[in-house]
Structure 1
């Protein structure tokens, strides 16, 4: 299920995270200010050991109680100022980072709407959902905490080391002893953790897909009693994710152990060497106290390196996953240059000129789904498209609104190549009703009016509902304002299909593409819809995928699609007399009186 990606070890985390800059740039002033405030607050903590040195070597050594109380006041004020500054940093980053997350999520959603159908065919929905939720949450957390504190803790460590070297350089060398092993260990940790973090985030996407499919397909699961097998599949994916998360935890525990142990050993060495120097009179007690206090103050910045690096790797992986989608090429929204020989001709209807189509991910050498299709639907004519399951009917209809692009050849509307039109212009001329109707979690009226421009209102809605014989909506609890629920599953299949048909005709399109639009209707409703639909078809140019003779009879002519090619065109009665394959298809349908079957082609 997981989408293929470049191996984690082949990418730079820094290069990946730099891609966030366009989103961060508008709020950079507040983020830089917050980082500056955090650096000042952290460095204030390093002043405390210097105050301790003054107290030990001064008031304590001299027996001056007033000086001790003054030093205690200084320490209290420094602590208060440090806490206040860290609180200010948190306030500074909260609002801008929420804005960054919201902008990235909005951009992702807009981009998904512009990506071609072929992209959505390849990607699991759970993978896309996890990128828009979990990954963006990780990025917001990274920008709020790890990014700032990688900088803050780095500056703090450098300043603290400089202070310690100035106090006593020999002890400074002792404390710096673990630096080289720590650097080597952190580099090894980064590479290994990056791979495991990517696996975990992809597995979250797979798990999200299973949950989504189980919720949407709950009727099938319950109907076939497959809840145990679905639960087993979910447990297996959960166990896989748990194992990956445990690998992450083990890696983090290992680096954390090293990061904590080595500095503690160094501090122990400083204590021994420093105590000897104090006993020999080479070092003041105040300097040793200040040195050790500074070293202890640097424990948190050093120990935090492990999980800051881990969170940075997860953020880098989340950034890669986000931009894997954002880098996908969207549909071209503008016009193409006119194709030679494609000069407009008034009222020429819908034409297919030698159209060949092969899916981009089809195996090399496999035959095309459509092969040199030539077809002309005259202006105002209705043509039925008939063929065996898998012959390419649904694919052919998807080419007209450019849900897929032709591999070769061209399609014209009134003599204009559809590739010369913007997609917005094309889809304002062409309306489509699919065999499997999709409804959204909105009101009935809102679902239908999606097929018209923003100026359409109640009259257009009522007309479309009448054409589709969808008067049942007026009996719903809130009429046309009734919420149909996710996927429209609160309605029957026939009701959903009638609403999809109403959506197709509400905008009075110039060209109408219907993919077996009546397959889920009972005989009486089908007859009523056909009667109303004939009046609509009289004013438009239509291509109708049909499986039953009753649907075929709506059309003026019929085209037979066989093996990806149009092999016969004529009236229903002509083809019954002259074409054995067509007669077989129609006789099988009429004998069994079956509703239209779903297409096997994609």
Structure 2
């Protein structure tokens, strides 16, 4: 994803934010209580001007020291009560909102695990990372502060205006004069700020992607001396983000100028008019003090409107980005089971596949694949680069969904199985081994029984793990880059065989091994392959010879099936592919 994906068209921030309700609902009681406490605290602050009126028109005018001290005590108690109530509000929201954030983050992570591989192929990891971190932080801040105080400040302003109108309606109208231009300015601000806020959040995702890729690819960057070009790319994105943030700042400065200036002018006008009325005896000094104190008490609720609207728009954009991922359809759950239970092995029935984002009129990557791997048989899959070998193997565990046709395991359609069941039957080793920042044992077992670890390491000739500083408990670096390519590949192979799967799919699993290690692994693999049904992508004759039969994949179709020797004699394309491999083998 990039900033071009940003939804810049008009959208309702309120409608977007309402999508958070299912997450907020479990903690609604504490949030409503916190809002009520905040309203009570804010209204408590509005009682202070009334006490001042009583003091000025009463004890101060009558020169009554006892009355002044009593009023001061009331003011102290009101101030203490207001502070206590606001502290209580903060305590009420802290725990439930951290729970909401954790639930949303867990929900996002779980949903990402259920989304198809095609989704992850389209989306940059940095965009997903920013949605699970920065965006959720913005949502927590919105629920903790703007959501409550948009209500609290609205109630405070309404109550304060009523108090001022009751005290003197002419001065109240003077204070209300800026209301219309302020409201119009806020509406214009919302429209403009929402698109800029969304752009900024998308650009944060792009920047996160660059940082992540630079860290993971640091060896490439250093090896090719590309640190300056990477730094330039990072600086360009940073400069773009800085420009967008400055646009946000300019918009916020403009709305704050209006929101702060116009009410201040109105208060100044009310002060002048009120002073004239006091001088003429039409208004008591206490009433003027109370009126102006109330007006000043409303300065914060009014001044904060700009910040609250900005934070709300940021939260609306974050909500939009969060649900862009959550609205993606997860892998379908099968509901119909076939009745086939015979051991018929792995079969491809007229299989066709085209990537979801491919043009409708483009030729399929795989076309009319009919292939039968008998129970207990190993079949090598051979073909030129780009012929579709890796794509075909990815269809078996449903990393991609078929466009047409069927794949069956022992007579049962794989789409009739749950993915959990299917992937418990099928194990894979990919050409590019992926390891996690965990221990060697955790990377290999992936939930399997501990007692299988030594067997799997032995089959994959990965006994080097026992010689690591903490043995199989040694933690390896991110992506396993602290290990050699051959070591990573052997651990990936050990992970594939650790669970004794009924079906094994190996995508060129020995490409990074030296000749002697490859021979040792092949010897151990023969025992494993004798007890399983396997499909092996192969590029070398030595790997092909592990299999009972060979299938030749050419331009997305199976063009020949037979033993290695049969195809060498009868198929020119296969002989050409193997002759290149044999020359490579001899050269080594």
CA shift for structure 1 position 363: 2.1
CA shift for structure 1 position 59: 1.3
Give the corresponding residue for 1:337.
Answer: 336
Q: 1:390 aligns with which of 371, 386, 392?
A: 386
CA shift for structure 1 position 281: 1.6
Aligned ranges for residues 503-582 of structure 1 at < 5 Å?
Answer: 503-582=495-574
- Cα deviation 1:12-50 (Å, max 9, x = unaligned): 111111111111111111111111111111111111111
The TM-score, its normalising length taken from structure 2, stands at 0.98
CA shift for structure 1 position 461: 1.0
Structure 1: distance between partners of 2:13 and 2:3 = 19
Secondary structure of the residue aligned to 1:301 is helix
Gaps of 5+ in 2: none
Give the corresponding residue for 2:415.
Answer: 419
- Cα deviation 1:59-87 (Å, max 9, x = unaligned): 11112222112111111111111111111
Contact 1:2-1:202 at 8 Å conserved across structures: yes
CA shift for structure 1 position 6: 6.4
Contact 2:44-2:78 at 8 Å conserved across structures: yes
Secondary structure of the residue aligned to 2:553 is strand
Q: Which moved more, 1:9-18 or 1:137-146?
A: 9-18
Structure 2: distance between partners of 1:561 and 1:589 = 16
CA shift for structure 1 position 9: 4.3
Give the corresponding residue for 1:484.
Answer: 476
Q: Which moved more, 1:276-285 or 1:536-545?
A: 276-285
- Cα deviation 1:435-469 (Å, max 9, x = unaligned): 0011111111111111x64xx122x1111111111
- Cα deviation 1:50-109 (Å, max 9, x = unaligned): 111111111111122221121111111111111111111111111111111111111111
CA shift for structure 1 position 592: 2.3
Secondary structure of the residue aligned to 1:62 is coil
Q: 1:345 to 1:60 in 2, by over 3 A?
A: closer
Structure 1: distance between partners of 2:354 and 2:227 = 37
Contact 1:9-1:191 at 8 Å conserved across structures: no
Aligned ranges for residues 426-437 of structure 1 at < 5 Å?
Answer: 426-437=422-433
Moved segments of 4+, more than 4 Å: 3-6
Structure 1: distance between partners of 2:68 and 2:130 = 57
**Alignment pair present for 1:241 and 2:241:** yes
Aligned ranges for residues 34-53 of structure 1 at < 5 Å?
Answer: 34-53=34-53
CA shift for structure 1 position 223: 0.7
- Cα deviation 1:569-589 (Å, max 9, x = unaligned): 111111111111111111111
Pairwise CA RMSD: 1.3
Q: Which moved more, 1:299-308 or 1:27-36?
A: 27-36
Q: 1:351 aligns with which of 314, 333, 347?
A: 347
**Alignment pair present for 1:379 and 2:379:** no
Q: 1:457 aligns with which of 447, 450, 453?
A: 450
- Cα deviation 1:524-551 (Å, max 9, x = unaligned): 0000000110111011110000001110
CA shift for structure 1 position 3: 6.2
Contact 1:516-1:547 at 8 Å conserved across structures: yes
Structure 2: distance between partners of 1:390 and 1:139 = 45
Give the corresponding residue for 1:600.
Answer: none
Contact 1:348-1:414 at 8 Å conserved across structures: yes
Q: 1:372 to 1:336 in 2, by over 3 A?
A: farther
Structure 1: distance between partners of 2:168 and 2:439 = 76
Secondary structure of the residue aligned to 2:438 is coil
Structure 1: distance between partners of 2:331 and 2:473 = 33
CA shift for structure 1 position 262: 0.5
Secondary structure of the residue aligned to 2:375 is coil
CA shift for structure 1 position 337: 2.5
Q: 1:494 aligns with which of 480, 486, 492?
A: 486
- Cα deviation 1:120-164 (Å, max 9, x = unaligned): 001000000000000011111111111111111000000000000
Give the corresponding residue for 1:316.
Answer: 316
Structure 2: distance between partners of 1:162 and 1:336 = 62
Structure 2: distance between partners of 1:9 and 1:45 = 41
Structure 2: distance between partners of 1:74 and 1:345 = 84
* Equivalent residues, number: 587
Secondary structure of the residue aligned to 2:61 is helix
CA shift for structure 1 position 416: 0.7
Give the corresponding residue for 2:267.
Answer: 267
Structure 1: distance between partners of 2:81 and 2:380 = 79
Structure 2: distance between partners of 1:448 and 1:290 = 74
Give the corresponding residue for 1:598.
Answer: none
Contact 1:3-1:123 at 8 Å conserved across structures: no
CA shift for structure 1 position 593: 3.3
**Alignment pair present for 1:136 and 2:136:** yes
Gaps of 5+ in 1: 596-602
Aligned ranges for residues 252-263 of structure 1 at < 5 Å?
Answer: 252-263=252-263
